[in-house]
Chains A and B, each alone.
Chain A
């Protein structure tokens, strides 16, 4: 019987029929962070339960660690947030988990760190009490976000009871134009089919534009599947994935590499496999895309206008009129970072726009690399100087300004262009108006002082 890649991943982890239509699925890796993982460890300890396989569980500090350069070990970006760091640290140690602490050279956002360390790999099942765990499907992993109680379940038993989701395939056929990124492709998809469009399906991304993406772009695309209401996303692993993983800390060692890769080559969708739905998107027709409202589905081309039928509540929160031209909107701030667009290629794309330029007066601009590894790599090639000379603050790795958890943020009513994943009301602070965009669009907007099309910003020749 013809199978999809998701069928193959499911079958490889299906321990048994759990009854009631659910399957018992083996969990290879449990990832935790201090915001929702600490409470799972606490409940587990209170129930007197131990962790079945602590050697395959990882606690990583990312959500509310301070992003101040030179931050202290327990320093949080939110008042009272230290307790999440210190309690999670103590409980992770007591439970015998791998701990990647605030001052660990491997620290960063869970979904940035997992591929970097080779924790995410084709055919691995990975859960984390974090909705953006779907990012890791970019490497051909079976990865999905869960709640804290289910994290406890996975830690205690090494397995979860799950109803197998429906499946959809989204094709991005053709090729993305110059200056058009995976972020734009995802926002475009969600704007066409709605933030509920994924309807708990497992979504395979396929097509020539996906094949052409590098690993980091694929991580961005899969990251946004949850904003499409998907159960998760997956992309068939190819030679790029295998090459990316070789030599990484938790990737198969030399003795097992060839065997693992041979196994991974079977992770593709059979020609006659059937999906519940297939969606085709013309990649050539995608423009740099920017959100205007308070749901990721409320997004249009950067050169377009706010739709005439826009939701009044969204217009009111965003301080916009229907018909307003996006690239004429003045802005107050920008943020580059997050599990969506906080990787080296994202910083390079923004750096290309910023090199030799200054941000506009009155704009507060912040860049926070997604991990310490990204930060080191960026600094090694001088990107930190490019950002700083342009007028950006350069922060320490973590989730940072992707979401507000109390503490310092942009002012109420300020208009922000952000490389993050959610433009929800209050997401970046009470009253803060978030426009989602690619790193290049964010950088161009910072320079222009208004939402701007990065394609109009040719690289500045800084040599001559």
Chain B
């Protein structure tokens, strides 16, 4: 059960890079067990620690600086979460305490993974993301109202678009498998019809 997302207010860490891939969010070497848990220690490991072998925090990395070490929101550039489909990237972010990511755009699989794990992905126009990043860099907190689809950053308001499906899952903390299982009648009907139309799919 994921935590429903209604209104969230918190420290937002600006990380204004484009094409931050999921290998950066969590390097594969940090995926050590067949599990969704215990991944936050590997979050941004390549940038967060002084070396691959070390757990000594790199002083220049944004999430190691006060107040951003307590961030619950990331403000990022274009195509955030591109690359590998590893959901571990979102599990690591969520376990670290990130509830929302404000981006210029997202990698498609990463965005869906966010929605599945109660992390709100907000895409805004480039200039708006830059403006929010500039304010948050000086410690201004961000308030996100998902129902109203509005972000408040130090009195500046930004409305955002989100598809109805993602919004419904996030606001309700819903499990889509349950939703789909409630349509099992339609699925069965499709399958019996389709076995006649495309029998080769069901061979072997």
Contacts and interface: CB of A to CB of B under 8 A. Distances in A.
B113 A149 contact: yes
A251 B116 CA distance: 34
- The interface centre, meaning the residue of B83, B168, B198 with most chain A CB atoms within 10 A of its CB, is B83
Nearest to A153: B177
Contact of B181 (A38, A156, A231): A156
Interface in A141-163: 145-150, 152-153, 156-161, 163
A69 B19 CA distance: 36
Interface stretch (A367-375, A388-396, A423-431): A423-431
Interface stretch (A80-88, A178-186, A377-385): A80-88
A406 interface: yes
A15 interface: yes
Contact of B116 (A20, A88, A149, A404): A149
B165 A161 contact: yes
Contacts of A253: 200, 203-204
Contacts, number: 190
B35 A39 contact: yes
A49 B177 contact: yes
A56 interface: yes
A450 interface: no
A252 B32 contact: no
B34 interface: yes
Choose among A43, A152, A157 the residue with the greatest number of B CB atoms under 10 Å from its CB: A157
Given A149-B117, A158-B191, A161-B165, A425 B23 contact: yes
A21 B191 CA distance: 23
Interface string B126-169: 00000000000000000000000000000000000001110110
Given A124-B201, A196-B19, A405-B28, A131 B179 contact: no
Interface string B72-99: 0000001100111111101000000000
15 contacts: A24-B186, A36-B88, A38-B34, A39-B34, A39-B87, A47-B177, A80-B32, A80-B33, A150-B112, A160-B180, A196-B105, A199-B105, A229-B105, A424-B24, A426-B52
Given A158-B191, A227-B82, 17 more contacts: A16-B183, A26-B190, A147-B113, A148-B87, A149-B117, A153-B180, A196-B79, A251-B200, A260-B200, A295-B18, A313-B17, A403-B23, A404-B27, A404-B29, A422-B84, A426-B27, A430-B51
Interface of A: 12, 15-16, 18-22, 24, 26, 28, 35-36, 38-39, 42-43, 47, 49, 55-56, 78, 80, 83-84, 87-88, 121, 123-124, 129-131, 145-150, 152-153, 156-161, 163, 165, 195-196, 199-200, 226-227, 229-231, 249-253, 256, 259-260, 263, 295, 297, 313, 403-406, 422, 424-427, 430-431
